[in-house]
Amino acid sequence: MRDLVAGMGYLAKGQKWVARHGRWWGFGMIPALITLAGYIVALVLLSTRADDLAAWATPFADGWGSPWQGLLRGALAAITFGGGLLIALITFTAVTLLVGQPFYESLCEKVDETEGGAPAKPEIPLWRELLISARDSLYVLVRVLAFGILLFGCGFIPVVGQTVVPVAGFCVSGFFLVVELSAVALQRRGVPQAERIRLLRRRLPLALGFGVPLILLFLVPLLTVLAMPGAVAGATLLARDLVPVQEDRDGEEDPAAQEDPAAQESGEHPGGARGGTSHGGGPAFASACPENPYAEPPQVRNPHRGGVEANPYRSAP
């Protein structure tokens, strides 16, 4: 329950952040406005051509009399437009994130800067970032469609289909929406998509608390445009707590050893780990195991392991 409330809190914090930084709120709306304009044009064209498509798909009804021909083709035209509208609603967020990759990268970086502890920007060309984003979005979309087909089948089960299935549908959509929105921030922290999904799945109430209310807001296209910058900012704040960035401590003495000089001389830390000396004769630094395995610590020399510990998801420079 605490994580559920915390997820809602991140959503509110993101909206408050863009409210305090009005220029970035307007900047973050640009991709959603571009996507919305494109979808409106596509839906208008579809509505004007739906009757022609219905007539093309039903040549066998050319000889039918009134009203049967009109009923069949009118129903097929309505289904065609409704299907296009449904596809638009399902794909709007993914397409907006793909179009807005450079915009949301800058927004995410600004949130990190204002909150402190920003990770180093990955040295990846823009075209490669877009390619990775498109691949990840397609992967998420396929999963959402798979769950959608399963839930659609379960919808025919009496009682369950009218109660449990709609709730499950909102939860699935909300979870994968958080996966999409946090992708930019977690990718900046070197976490690949499969690990991002597992990370959010382990904190499922947190993800649902953020994503489900946002799905309800996104049912209204205009609210999607207005809320998208705050949603990206909130997802960045959520990602910061899931995968915190550790400050560089390379070359510093171990604080635990400083507190206990006797332990430093004997090479034993208060936590019970054995210490040692570096090859240069100075005190060795035994790095504590970070709470989050996906945090991006600087490379820290650990003499007990004889190597360098680093984020396994961040490519070496």
Examine the domain organization and report whether 253 and 206 are in the same domain.
Answer: no
Question: pLDDT band for position 122 (50/70/90)?
Answer: low
Examine the domain organization and report whether 224 and 262 are in the same domain.
Answer: no
- Domain with 310, as residue range(s), is 246-317
Distances in whole angstroms, Cα of residue 294 to Cα of each of 32, 111, 113, 210: 30, 19, 20, 21
The 8-class DSSP code of residue 314 comes to S
CA distance 226 to 38: 17
User: Please, what is the angle between helix 160-181 and helix 193-202, to 10°?
Assistant: 130
CA distance 313 to 292: 13
Examine the domain organization and report whether 169 and 107 are in the same domain.
Answer: yes
C-beta of residue 11 within 8 angstroms of C-beta of residue 210? yes
pLDDT at 190 (0 to 100): 81
**Residue where the block lists tokens 């959608």:** 148
Examine the domain organization and report whether 212 and 251 are in the same domain.
Answer: no
Average per-residue pLDDT in the chain? 75
pLDDT at 247 (0 to 100): 43
**pLDDT, tens digit (0-9, with 9 covering 90-100), for 182-217:** 888 888 888 888 888 899 999 999 999 999 998 888
Q: Which of 242, 276, 295 is the last residue of a domain?
A: 242
**pLDDT, tens digit (0-9, with 9 covering 90-100), for 60-116:** 888 888 788 888 888 888 888 888 887 787 778 778 877 887 888 889 889 988 888
Examine the domain organization and report whether 232 and 252 are in the same domain.
Answer: no
C-beta of residue 137 within 8 angstroms of C-beta of residue 92? no
Question: pLDDT band for position 241 (50/70/90)?
Answer: confident
Q: What percent of the chain has pLDDT over 70?
A: 73
Examine the domain organization and report whether 192 and 266 are in the same domain.
Answer: no
CA distance 7 to 175: 11
pLDDT at 245 (0 to 100): 60
Examine the domain organization and report whether 39 and 102 are in the same domain.
Answer: yes
Span 142-162, mean pLDDT? 82
Report whether pLDDT(275) > 70: no
Distances in whole angstroms, Cα of residue 121 to Cα of each of 96, 111, 190, 292: 22, 13, 10, 20
Examine the domain organization and report whether 237 and 250 are in the same domain.
Answer: no
Question: pLDDT band for position 145 (50/70/90)?
Answer: confident
Q: Concatenate the DSSP letters of all residues of 139-205 into one string.
A: HHHHHHHHHHHHHHHHTTSTTHHHHHHHHHHHHHHHHHHHHHHTHHHHHHTT--HHHHHHHHHHTHH
Model confidence, pTM: 0.64
Q: Report helix, strand or coil for 300.
A: strand
In which element (H, E) is residue 129 found? helix 126-154
Examine the domain organization and report whether 214 and 91 are in the same domain.
Answer: yes
Report whether pLDDT(153) > 90: no
Strand partners, 309: 300
Examine the domain organization and report whether 226 and 279 are in the same domain.
Answer: no
Examine the domain organization and report whether 154 and 38 are in the same domain.
Answer: yes
Q: Report helix, strand or coil for 125.
A: coil
Q: Which of 184, 209, 242 is the last residue of a domain?
A: 242
Q: Which of 242, 263, 292 is the last residue of a domain?
A: 242
Report whether pLDDT(269) > 80: no
Report whether pLDDT(234) > 60: yes
Examine the domain organization and report whether 256 and 196 are in the same domain.
Answer: no
pLDDT at 246 (0 to 100): 52
In the chain, how many domains are there?
Answer: 2
